[in-house]
Amino acid sequence: MEVTWKEKETEHYIFHYKADSLAEKEMQHIIELQEGCFKEITDKLEFIPEKRIIYWLCDTREEVMRISGFEYETNGVTFFDLENPTIYAVYNEEVKCVGAHEDAHAISYQYAYSYSIALAEGLAMYFDKEWWKIPNELCTRVYMEDNKYEKVETLILDDYEEFYKIDDRISYPIMGAFTAFLIETYGIEKYKSVYGEYEDLSQRFREIYKKELGAVEEEFVASVMSQSYSAELLEDARKILYEE
């Protein structure tokens, strides 16, 4: 059966969705959500992209892979085309892959391209704020206590393939929490100065933060460990994070 795609344009987006789909029924909510995310991201980055973000709202992960041409099934993926920044995302009753994450990729890439996939995912997670409804900092604290913490320095300096060998429920919230620490402790301007096409990120961190990346990470670890969490809250987080 032939699929009928419809289109809705807003100030900063072009949405594609199927006739009679859940996305069509909830389009006004989606528009308000994404425009709100756009404002939050661009206000923080102090950058307004020239190109509108194109969304394809799909029924399933398989459909995302099929119409996007991506290499595997996924809930959401952003294609970094400067002329046509495009997001393919699942939108159904169980999975609604909308919000800040993919938009942060689409917007930040129009600002600067980072050689570090960890920095790129960290920025997206910074705007997401949580993983499975658990704050990034709480996730990170659990991993630190349980010896599952992955060093930020390694995540940032590893290449694309090495980064994705690590469980994303560990790497993503850690990088989100670290990004929040950098921005909230040292300011957005310094963060933006390391988020770019720098092959030697160790040197770039030294130039901008006047200390080694490892030393900044030590401050981050100390900050996370200084937070007060109840045993009950930590245990509840563990149950969710370690759920297979």
Mean pLDDT of 216-224: 98
Q: What is the mean pLDDT of residues 73-94?
A: 95
Mean pLDDT value across residues 184-202: 92
Given a cut of 90, is residue 225 above it in pLDDT? Answer: yes
Query: Contact at 8 Å (CB) between 68 and 92?
Result: no
Question: Of 126, 135, 118, nearest to 194 (Cα)?
Answer: 118
Residue pointed to by tokens 């460990």? 225
- Amino acid, res. 62: E
Q: What is the pTM of this model?
A: 0.94
Cα–Cα distance list, 202 to 131, 170, 206 (Å): 28, 22, 6
pLDDT of residue 1: 62
The residue type found at 171 is: S
Q: Give the burial class of 144: count Cβ atoms within 10 A of its Cβ; 0-12 exposed, 13-18 middle, 19 or more buried.
A: middle
34-58 pLDDT, tens digit per residue, is 999 999 999 999 999 999 999 999 9
H or E segment and range at residue 78: strand 76-79
What average pLDDT score do residues 187-205 get? 92
Q: In the predicted model, what is the mean pLDDT of the chain? A: 95
**Per the structure block, which two tokens stand in for 209?**
């933060």
* Residue 2 pLDDT > 90: no
pLDDT band at 244 (very low <50, low <70, confident <90, very high): low
Domains of the chain: 5-111 (3.40.30.160), 117-241 (no CATH)
What does 159-183 look like in DSSP terms, one character per residue? -HHHHTTS-HHHHHHHHHHHHHHHH
The pLDDT score that the predictor gives to residue 124 is: 97
Residue 134's DSSP bridge partners are: 131
pLDDT at position 230 is: 97
